[in-house]
Structure 1
Amino acid sequence: MGSPLDWIRSTGAPVVEDQAAAERRANDKEANEKEGAVATDGPHGSANGENDGDSDAISLNAQHGVQAIEALTKVWTKNNLILAYATIWVIFFVDALQSTMSGSLVAYVTSDFYAHGLTATTGIMSGLIGGLSKLSLAKILDIWGRPQGFAIVLFFLTIGLIMMAACNGVETYCAAQVFYWVGYNGISYTISIFIADTSALKNRGLMLAFASSPYIITVWVGGPLAQAFLDGPGWRWAYGVFAIITPVVCMPLLGLFWVNYRRADAAGLLPKREVVKRTSWQSVVHYFHEFDVIGLLLITAGLALFLLPFSIYHHQAEQWKSPLIIAFIVVGGVLIVAFAFWEKYFARVTFIPYELLMDRTVLGACILAATLFVSFYIWNSYFFSFLQVVSGLNVTEATYLTNTYSIGSCFWSIVVGILIRRTGRFKWIALYFGVPVTILGVGLMIAFRQPGVNIGYIVMCQIFIAFGGGTLVICEQIAAMAATSHQYIAVVLAIEGMFASVGGAIGSTIAAAIWNGVFPERLAEYLPLESQGNFTEIYTQLPVQMSYPIGSPTRDAINAAYGDAQKWMIVASTVIQIVSIISVLVWRDIKVKDFKQVKGRVV
């Protein structure tokens, strides 16, 4: 394997400086950095991306996908720009609606297959692959182009929805979730890159918040829609309908891409690409190495095999002593180690560009993303079930409450975007508001997410977490993008997304391990004698849990078991938040107000 500079050369990106020069500049910057200092250069080229003589010229040394989007922004009109963002809003609205609805249906899908205890497990593999696939998607966006990547992930999303509508077991549903999350994460990621391509850095937080604003509306619609499908044609139709709607609403954005790319090509703005003649087999081999397929398989399989035993061990007769569980952990660990050796010694193109990851602002943003997702998935995995069983809410009411985070974070992220635009800074907002408010909200749930506690206290905690989380999500993305130049944005956000998805998988694993370790044990202990014979049905099916009248001895026993499991889940979620303090402290205090990072007609 070559050095990081070899990786840059292999992707067609410019080598801005040699390692010694980079170290000298980093040392000089570190010595001169103070609160209020302006970061005029990113670690991998100028912050404004001016690597050629003309600051607004197409980047001659950038990869084709970056050149193409820069050419597009030079030829499209103001009306095209407005139409693009309006279309993006509609796409996010539809995606948010079906995502909110889907979240309300998961417990019913797993219960239909007598596997309610696997509610969190269904997201582990899909979350891992969905996040890790962003690195390959970043390559597609940079090498082939933005619309090509968008079309690919739209295909995966549609296939996933069709498979969920037709699944006949929890195994098929899990497989469908993999396709779905590759597509769903890919669409949101591709659009985030497009927003980065077409907005000034000082306005980018505001535009990202604008794109997420549909969640403020869909939270009120997703729950009733899920309930309507459950009461009517069933949950299968819920997925089937959106398998038709989603491609339809995405087509206008693809059309806008296509029209303006043709216009830029006709204007001669796209640099001529050197045609490399390869046979079909040579092309397969080239892209096999370019996308580091072996590295992707090793890290995905390794993490999945290592994490899955923590959520499925309870279903084995010998539990942790089961040969299957032991084999999963050992083989998973070996594959993770093999991935590290492969990347260091054998991979022609590295899966993770280390020179980007080792920038302290980028690394801090990635660790913060992972921490937030670990914490979120621990406390949120069985939250919907808790609200229905312990708090006695119906599907619509529970959906409203679980999506308090979506409403609050999307609303507050707009405020954060405005603050970043006005002040030109983001670190202080994350450190002095985002982190402490998030820790406060999660920590208070230890006391308030218990049987018999007024639901209003839970709502209060959700509002705290929403405002804190809305702040940190925007700030972490701006931090990662501010530390590099335009041509590396796709890779940096892919790395950040990978950390988030791995964090989500770890969080789901911890949640499932605590749930399967605590809930059935406490349930068996608390259930009255007359209900002991129904233990398996009560444990595995949410509708059976809710079938016992509120206030009955059996329902009280179920609620008490829920409370014990929830307490330990939230304790773990709160403790992991300590890492978020450190991850924000290491950021450089970059001033983004005066950056010119992108070219052409942008927001």
Structure 2
Amino acid sequence: MAPQLGVWSNGVEGEVGAVDGIHWADEDAHVHAHAHAGGSVVGPCHPYLGRTRSGGVKNRRKTYNLHTRHDYPPAIMAPAAAAAAAADDDDKERGVRSPSRDEPVVTSTTVALDEKNGGDGVVATDVEARDGGPGGDAVSVHSESSLVQAGVQKAMILKKAWSRTTLLIAFTSLFLTTLIITLSDYSHMVLQPYVTSAFKKHSFMSAAHVVINITRIVAYPIIAKLSDVFGRAEMFTLSIVFQTLSFIVYATSVDIGAYFAAGLFDAIGSTGFGLTQQVFIADATSLINRAFWSTLPESITTIPALYLGSLIGEGFLYHAGWRWSYGAWAIIVPVVAVPLIATMVVLQRRARRHGLVAKSLASVAGCPPGSPMWKKALHLAWTEIDLLGLVLLVAGLSLILIPVSLTGSFNPGRWREGGFIAMLVVGVVCFLCFLVWDIRYAKKPYIPAHMANRTVIVACAIQMLDFMEYSLFTIFFPSYLQVAGHFTPANATRIEYAYLPLIPSLAKSRRHRLGWRKDSRSNSLRVAFQISGLFVAVGIKYTKNAHYWALAGPPLVILGQGVMIYLVDMGDGRHGSEAAFIASKVVSGVGRALWQTAAQVSVQAVVSRQEVAVATGIFQAANSVGAAIGTSISGAIWRNTLPDKLLAHLPEQEKKNALKIFQSIVVAQKYPVGTPARAAIDRSYRESQRILGIVATCVCAPNVFIMWFMRNVRLDEEDRKDEEGVDKTIAKIEQGKERE
């Protein structure tokens, strides 16, 4: 075909044509070619590249198919080989050397390919490529490997490097490490009263617990970011180091300062391990299998830990002392984690020898070789880690959560203090500044623009509202059960905590954050619920769809919570039986299992590989944020409701004791059942808890409507597109290393 004249998108005229079905681009036209007839072409491509039977362009290492829209006329597709040959002659006259067949071709064209959609061939303008392409999800192939941070590049290369043997070693070690950490968690629950007995009356203890819990929340996005910058193996190592340090400091603590430091180390270590575990599984598994493998570690480790953890704790307590328990775990935990970390490091070193992984701080940070060390470190901190965004995020979340947590369930009156209002206002301002900086100015933002899609937003919103509802109703529910329900503490514990293991990711950090207690007599229920959680994951695997499983969750949660409104106050002084309360909790638990297992997979499916860690971290952090807000709301309602109810219902001679009854369930339970005073107390508790039930149900009710905005993801299709995206990214990394 003879060369023809066309008009490129920048207004430059160039020759267009096709040879043997292969569309060539004029080497001098380093732009996206949009002919005046509306056609879109790929360009430029060097004529020395070999032509493939599939209609693509290749060099010796890789084949890159040049897709075009099928409705574009061939006459406007790209310059002919003759035009490119003429360009070579011009190069020779200018003294410019053209690349040979054996050299990788470097062009300045930005070809917009969609990593999540497998590079399906839609060629975008420069503006479209920058903004995510016509579909809103595209990334630039020319700069794709630079957009993907070093830690994510390592994860992609590891995914291709895993063999059956190395994957078996890594997952076995992962499960064993999870088991050991879970065992240590359950054993330390037995030791906790003895560990804190020397500090429990210290005025700093309450504030220390608040700071530790806030540290867990803030750690999620930070750990996710660091894992993207440095790598998963590095974050596993850092998490285990912090976890081990916490055990050592707990074992040697003699004052509140040491206890506080150990709590901070524990918060960072446990949160880091739990999040990195989920991100590692996301890196190593397909979306179809991800729900199963994400749920399996906690399911198979919690079951034996339920029985053995308390026995181990008691054994240390009675025979060696609680300090030796922490000391023993400080040795065991890092030892069992060695195979996992070592396997990942060995594979990364193999990749590094082939030039596929960043070799230095400069290459990690994107600095040119030979830059001063201070410049490399500054670029790493300012650009890759986004230090300013980190400071604004930590300040914003901390200043918002500190007043929310300190008011909590028993101090809502402190909202009248000016300092609390000031902290909240400054926190909101800092968080808004973080959003502005992150969205408009940060080069490597904590919250990438592609994450601002409806599935991620809706999933995090539902997660936050769900845990807000849970904590809002739950915080005073054990007190209600013992006072108005006349249940023993053991029965109250069985009712309240029977369904918790249904929640997938029962990580140590979550149990600490929400203060979940365990009772050995409810273990059989927990075992059954852990197994049922696995059934949800298996269902997702065989249906290849997480959407409908997720949609089934919120209605069940609302149903279970709505039934509680009736059970806590059935009228005529009646309340639900233990079996009725447990059944209602089980319904809510099944709903949470359906929702959380499927929603996490859906969130990971709609973001790119670069964004998986941050998306998972934000999704999990929504739990804690919702729980903190729910606890504060619950405390305000309880404090403003129960005292008034007591004053309204108590006999005249007992009204003077209303404050004491409100402040202590022990005082409330001293009144014999059947007396007028106890009947008034029971009625006050029932009516107050019913109000909490109504508010909690109203909080989670919107989930039934907003859940429909989630995208229906076909997991097998997304897996195929993801594989293609990983292949393209690795190819770009290889090309980049060859050019170096």
CA distance in 2, matches of 1:270, 1:253: 19
CA distance in 1, matches of 2:317, 2:472: 27
Q: 1:221 to 1:172 in 2, by over 3 A?
A: same
CA distance in 2, matches of 1:369, 1:221: 31
Task: Pick from 418, 424, 428 the counterpart of residue 548 of structure 2.
Answer: 428
Matches within 5 A, 1:517-556: 517-518=640-641, 532=657, 535=660, 539=663, 551=673
Partner of 2:291: 205
CA distance in 1, matches of 2:203, 2:487: 19
Q: Residue 363 of structure 1 aligns to a residue in which SS?
A: helix
CA distance in 2, matches of 1:174, 1:521: 38
Aligned-residue CA RMSD (Å): 4.6
Structure 1 residue 113 displacement after superposition: 6.0
Matches within 5 A, 1:136-147: 136-147=222-233
Contact in 2 for aligned 1:127/1:181 (Cα 8 Å): yes
Partner of 1:129: 215
The residue identity in structure 1 corresponding to 2:231 is G
Partner of 2:302: 215
* TM-score normalised by L of structure 2: 0.63
Q: 1:464 to 1:330 in 2, by over 3 A?
A: same
CA distance in 2, matches of 1:585, 1:171: 48
Is 1:331 aligned with 2:426? yes
Structure 1 residue 362 displacement after superposition: 2.1
Contact in 2 for aligned 1:120/1:512 (Cα 8 Å): no
Contact in 1 for aligned 2:462/2:707 (Cα 8 Å): yes
Matches within 5 A, 1:432-471: 433-449=552-568, 453-471=576-594
Task: Pick from 334, 337, 346 the counterpart of residue 247 of structure 1.
Answer: 334
Q: Deviations over 1:562-597 (max 9, x none)?
A: 655543433332222123223321112121124233
Contact in 2 for aligned 1:219/1:400 (Cα 8 Å): no
CA distance in 2, matches of 1:60, 1:332: 33
Structure 1 residue 195 displacement after superposition: 0.7
CA distance in 2, matches of 1:349, 1:466: 38
Q: 1:559 to 1:229 in 2, by over 3 A?
A: farther
Task: Pick from 466, 469, 475 the counterpart of residue 598 of structure 2.
Answer: 475
Is 1:393 aligned with 2:501? no
Contact in 1 for aligned 2:550/2:596 (Cα 8 Å): no
Q: 1:365 to 1:170 in 2, by over 3 A?
A: farther
Q: Deviations over 1:525-553 (max 9, x none)?
A: 869869959949x947x8x6799598597
CA distance in 2, matches of 1:582, 1:112: 49
The residue identity in structure 1 corresponding to 2:595 is L
| Range with greater deviation from structure 2 (321-330 or 166-175) | 166-175
CA distance in 2, matches of 1:220, 1:343: 46
Partner of 1:288: 381
Q: 1:336 to 1:488 in 2, by over 3 A?
A: closer
Q: Which has the higher helix share?
A: 1
CA distance in 1, matches of 2:587, 2:215: 30
| Range with greater deviation from structure 2 (256-265 or 466-475) | 256-265
Contact in 2 for aligned 1:368/1:584 (Cα 8 Å): yes
Q: Which runs of 5+ in 1 are unaligned?
A: 1-13, 28-42, 53-57
Q: 1:145 to 1:546 in 2, by over 3 A?
A: farther
The residue identity in structure 1 corresponding to 2:567 is F
| Range with greater deviation from structure 2 (334-343 or 482-491) | 334-343
CA distance in 2, matches of 1:559, 1:109: 35
Contact in 2 for aligned 1:364/1:584 (Cα 8 Å): yes
Q: Residue 593 of structure 1 aligns to a residue in which SS?
A: helix
Partner of 1:300: 394
Matches within 5 A, 1:335-350: 335-343=430-438, 347=442, 349-350=444-445
Contact in 1 for aligned 2:396/2:428 (Cα 8 Å): yes
Q: Deviations over 1:330-366 (max 9, x none)?
A: 333343344344445665543322x223212222222
Structure 1 residue 215 displacement after superposition: 2.8
Percent identity over paired residues: 27
Task: Pick from 337, 347, 358 the counterpart of residue 260 of structure 1.
Answer: 347
Partner of 1:55: none
CA distance in 1, matches of 2:294, 2:399: 34
Matches within 5 A, 1:107-126: 125-126=211-212
Partner of 1:486: 609
Q: Which has the larger radius of gyration?
A: 2
Partner of 1:31: none
Is 1:370 aligned with 2:464? yes
Q: 1:248 to 1:413 in 2, by over 3 A?
A: same
Structure 1 residue 383 displacement after superposition: 5.0
Q: 1:316 to 1:425 in 2, by over 3 A?
A: closer
Contact in 2 for aligned 1:165/1:240 (Cα 8 Å): yes
Q: 1:550 to 1:193 in 2, by over 3 A?
A: farther
CA distance in 2, matches of 1:492, 1:310: 24
Q: 1:118 to 1:74 in 2, by over 3 A?
A: same
Q: 1:356 to 1:328 in 2, by over 3 A?
A: same
CA distance in 1, matches of 2:678, 2:180: 37
Structure 1 residue 439 displacement after superposition: 1.0
| Range with greater deviation from structure 2 (304-313 or 183-192) | 304-313
Structure 1 residue 228 displacement after superposition: 7.5
Structure 1 residue 82 displacement after superposition: 1.8
CA distance in 2, matches of 1:237, 1:530: 50
Aligned residues: 558
